[in-house]
Chain A
Amino acid sequence: MRRGSDIDQEALAKAANPARIRKAPENFLGAGEIAAISGGRRDFLRGAFAAAAALGASAAMAQEAKDAPKGDEMILKPQPWATTLGQPVAATPYGLPSKYEGGLIRRQSPGLTQVAGASVSFMPLQGMFGIITPSGLHFERHHQGWYDIDPNKHRFMINGSGPEFLKKQKVYTLDDLMRLPPVSRMHFIECGANTGMEWGNVAVPTVQYTHGMISCSEYTGVPLRTLLEDCGVDWKKAKFVLAEGGDGSAMTRTIPIELVASGEVIVAYGMNGEMLRPENGYPLRLVVPGVQGVSWVKWLRRIEVGDKPWATKDEAVHYIDLMPNGQHRQYTSIHEAKSVITSPSGGQTLLDKGFYNVTGLAWSGRGKIKRVDVSFDGGMNWVEATLQTPVLSKCLTRFNVAWNWDGKQAILQSRATDETGYVQPGYRMLREVRGSRSIYHNNAIQSWKVVESGDVGNVQVL
């Protein structure tokens, strides 16, 4: 390791990191500097540093500079956080992210909806690590606004469409449900309309808006199977269940009994170690692994057991997929294998040439992710990415792949394969079957184009 006295000017320049286009941590960049960067002058700060050194070279200053310790001021100069007393415990009884992380919040897509009570907010995938979504950043979709319901006033009912389906029709309180044997499982939840704005063409600039209607959490609750058995369900006669919400929209969706019988469907009260957040259905929501978010009914108040599907509004007017022949596919529910590179991604800028960890997420509603391939040339050639553990069924899987950027144009893509052998399709293949008007279930390969300036943009590649 070299010591301060050995450091030459070039090494000092590297230590101060002048090639980076933003001065950390203030993130301040003047108009002139922005112009310089957008003009492609990626080395402008290095030049500015050298010019400043040359200007200051009067004899006295030179002597002074020679005697002064050389190196990074952040190391040489004692900083306030190292020389003064910090804050006490419990200063924020419920901890919050650093004030420097304020950019990574859920956001609406302007113009997508007219009223915020029936709208969507998107999760900031561009800055997330690992697979778990912090609960405060979980994407939102409400139909008639959200409520923070007093858990002691919430009731959960199980009834039958006729007397043949259940021996007992019952009402449970949260006290009842939280005494029953629980399970905790990690699963992704994705809105059926995620990436829906991009069916026909590129429409939005960043991965937050192209893919941000997805989140992944550890859920805790009681398997719905346990509760139906507690009500004496007749598994032979029961074919479907209806899940109903307790909010103004009283959201309803039909769910096949096979999923319930498998034990996968959970009546959940917990999320990431605490109770569900109000925006995510506090105090009770349904968890339907692998199936689109609209079936994960929030503020869950009722399950009805029957033998026919219900064709509710959100399975007969919305969440139906229009095909080129004018037919709508009804009851499309499973999310087929999909993946996206989250960094570098649309709207971002690479700092400089050299090494990058290209990272992203893959998921499948049919089970585990088996492999993810990444292309840097728009899908001509591919390399296999490393899957980060854990790799769980119907859960987000993080992938990473090393990349040395040579400063030239590149088009980054990722392609997921799940354990059933299903391979994520490209836009050409998907549109040949489904056209470009089906709104829902767009799982096409996403492309990010990197240009010489380091800017990354959203493009579609056939």
Chain B
Amino acid sequence: MFRFSKPALAQVAFLAAALAAASPARALDDFGLGRAATPDELKAWDIDVRPDFAGLPKGSGSVSDGETIWEGKCAACHGTFGESNKVFMPLIGGVTKDDVKTGHVASLMRPDFPGRTTFMKVATVSTIFDYIRRAMPWNAPKSLSNDQVYAVLAYLLNLSEIVPDDFVLNEETIKDVQKMMPNRNGMTYDHAMWPSTAFSGKPEKPDTQAKACMKNCKDKVEVASTLPDYALPSHGNIADQNRLVGQVRGQTTGPSAAEAAGKKHPVAELAEASGCLACHAVDTKLVGPSYADVAQKYKGQDVAAKLAKKIREGGEGVWGDVAMPPMADIKDDDIKKLVAWILEGAPSK
């Protein structure tokens, strides 16, 4: 940083004033970069909805409309009743009529309660509307109309027993729904982990106050938990995950990566490299059908050309309405290999 004596500063000020008078230069913080956003651009991108429903678009959808959309576009991942945990965490379950009255989901207080569904947690109905509109369906985000978003949300609210079967959700009735959200009183801002005082008006104190003791700090050292031996191989061969030199080596907890790769079916690797396994698994239905199911369905049929076309061009309707996107980048030869391998039952070795 420069330091000026007072006379020097005065001189600089004089010079600057003289220069400014001579040529009207832009201030250096007037960048003149960027441009005004147009109203249509703002409309296209400004889609957020706040808990007070600022930003909520007009529209409406019924429970039964929602059910139809759900079965076509949502159930493949979330289950018919939003209960599935196969691909994502369950949406529905764990909520009672009593919670709708109290506004705090009772099962959250039970440490033995298995898992937490979206409707057990969420306090604000705007959150679900906003999220479905911006990010769902998972493989085709932002493809639902506003009415469809209302309908899908109405169906979810009905599954959670918050609204009746004949309910129609719109920009007005959603405000009544907020008053019935089962966990609407379930959130607290009472903590020190928000980086401002906006909620409480004062700095919060951290919830633990540990001391840096240095000598004889406790009566005994109690080992409360250890990784069981059977869990060691769960993350592969740790020797392969460490450096070959240095002060330590990784423990051998399974076959080496080189051995494992040698045994893997080459087309299984091709399927992985081609991105197929993002939506398909060998024996479990994910977003798309399992390869075992595909092999079973077409057993003994001459469908290689048909399936190759489906991989290349995409398709929908055979395994539900979740569309398979076209795979433009996979070579013809590789598609042939993939099809043969899938029809063979997708062997791993």
Contacts and interface: CB of A to CB of B under 8 A. Distances in A.
B196 interface: yes
17 contacts: A103-B241, A104-B243, A126-B241, A170-B34, A203-B227, A204-B235, A208-B241, A248-B141, A249-B134, A252-B130, A327-B187, A329-B191, A343-B248, A347-B241, A347-B251, A380-B216, A459-B226
Nearest to B212: A423
Given A143-B135, A250-B141, A24 B245 contact: yes
Output the residue of B122, B194, B214 with the most chain A CB within 10 A: B194
Contacts of A449: 223, 226
3 closest A-B pairs by CB: A378-B221, A256-B196, A326-B109
B242 to A, nearest CB: 6
Nearest to B86: A114
Contact of A423 (B48, B138, B210, B253): B210
Interface stretch (A43-51, A71-79, A275-283, A350-358): A350-358
Nearest to A114: B87
B25 interface: no
A272 interface: no
Interface string B209-246: 11111111110011111110001101110111111111
Interface of A: 21-22, 24-25, 27, 29, 34, 100-101, 103-104, 107, 109-111, 114-118, 124, 126-127, 143-145, 157-159, 161, 168-173, 176-177, 179-180, 201-206, 208-209, 229-230, 239-240, 242, 244, 248-250, 252, 256-259, 290-291, 301-302, 304, 306, 308-313, 316-317, 320-334, 336, 343-344, 346-351, 356-357, 365, 371, 373, 377-383, 411, 415, 417, 422-427, 429-430, 433-435, 437, 441, 447, 449, 455-462
B286 interface: yes
Contacts of A22: 244, 249
A349 B249 contact: yes
Do most interface residues of chain B lie in helix, strand or loop, or is the interface mixed?
loop
Contacts of A429: 208, 210
B193 interface: yes
Contacts of B108: 322, 326-328
A426 B225 CA distance: 14
B23 interface: no
Interface stretch (B50-58, B165-173, B335-343): B50-58
Contacts of B236: 107, 110
Given A316-B121, A330-B188, A447-B223, 4 more contacts: A110-B234, A248-B135, A326-B109, A429-B208
A91 B161 CA distance: 65
Contacts of A365: 195
B225 A202 contact: yes
A9 to B, nearest CB: 25
